[in-house]
Amino acid sequence: MAKRENYDAAKKLIEGAKRILISGHLSPDGDSLGSMIALARLLKGVGKDAWATADLNALGKPGFLEGAADLIPVRKLKSARRRIGGQFDLFIAVDCSSFSRMPPEVEPVAKGLKCICIDHHVTNDGSFGDVQIVDPEASSAGEIVWRFAKWMEWKLDRASAEALWVAMITDSGRFAYDSTSQRTLRAAGDLLKYGVRTAFINDVIYGTFPRKAIELKRIAWRSLHIWKNRKVAEVSLTRDDFREVRGTKADAEDIIEIPRSVAKNEIALFFYQIPDRTKETRCSIRTRGDWDATALAAKFGGGGHRKAAGCTIKASMGAAKRQMRAAVKELLKSACRKTMRIPAGIV
């Protein structure tokens, strides 16, 4: 949990700023987008000129949130000075701990600004930003934003509460993952005071799917590959698959659940290629039991959480699969060697 002095330092930076830029990671998920939208709204509520930025073509289902229309498109970020009335003087990174994980348009604008990092990834080493509000045990960045907002005595409304609700439910698996704690549920209970439309939000995010998303699932199901006695399962989507249905990564957010749904599965992999980015393959990783997803992601410069992580592999789809499979096999062998060691004194 973030220390009091970190909160104090963040408060000082915010109070001294006039125009604040907020960004999350590439292809923002519900946690990243919800946290950004809520934080921008809360800051505006206390008189700050706060703006969040994102690729509007990659918002996916959380794009329904009130405040999404106010996002500065990343492609227009450099020319946004006229819209915001001057230069930004503070940068807040949410659910992300490096410029390499953000849209490439962000770094030229944000680099050199005072920076606050709000994050919950276990792989965050605390080196990014002037002030870190980081808690690897939090269910989501949204949970941390809620805590900070309550500490700052900012007033929430339904729109900001719904944005934080989406942040929390999407990263905690609707409060089902191990990261859900008493503090998580306490935060969720507080958000309900503001009239969060829980049934409506659940239906939008989990109950209905556009045709593009359904078509991508169909293609992904055909690619399902199961190995190591069902312990490992994987699916993939190529650039051509996305182009075929005119889909984006936002239409494929829950495809990782396909390999994860295989009975006895312990390591689930989803390989995909973004149509407008070349010579790289991304991989989402989910694990069960004692397996650490970050142990695999870190081999390729990625990170995340113990049970959910991701990375970018600078290789074609085929080469990326071979590299990740080799890493999985090495992880399994390493664990096997540990369990087979003979205790000293028994020989």
**Over its length of 347 residues, how does the chain's per-residue pLDDT go in tens digits?**
567 899 999 999 999 999 999 999 988 999 999 999 999 999 999 999 999 999 998 888 899 999 999 999 999 998 887 777 778 999 999 999 889 889 999 999 999 999 999 999 888 888 899 999 999 999 999 999 999 999 999 999 999 999 999 999 999 999 998 899 999 999 999 999 999 999 999 999 999 999 999 999 999 999 999 999 999 999 999 999 999 999 888 889 889 999 999 999 999 999 999 776 567 999 999 999 999 999 999 999 988 889 999 999 999 999 999 999 999 999 999 876 554 444 444 43
Each domain of the chain, given as residue ranges in start order, spans: 4-205, 211-339
The pairing of beta strand 19-23 with beta strand 49-54? parallel
**DSSP letter assigned to residue 270:** E
Handedness of CA 217, 218, 219, 225 (dihedral sign): positive
pTM (predicted TM-score): 0.86
Whole-angstrom distance, CA of residue 212 vs CA of residue 244:
9
Token pair in block for residue 50: 């706060």
Handedness of CA 204, 305, 232, 272 (dihedral sign): positive
- Bridge partner residues of 286 (DSSP): 268, 308
Say how many C-beta atoms besides its own lie within 10 A of residue 203's C-beta: 11
Which CATH architecture fits 211-339?
A: Roll (3.10)
The pairing of beta strand 225-227 with beta strand 232-237? antiparallel
Say how many C-beta atoms besides its own lie within 10 A of residue 55's C-beta: 19
The class of domain 4-205 in CATH terms is alpha beta
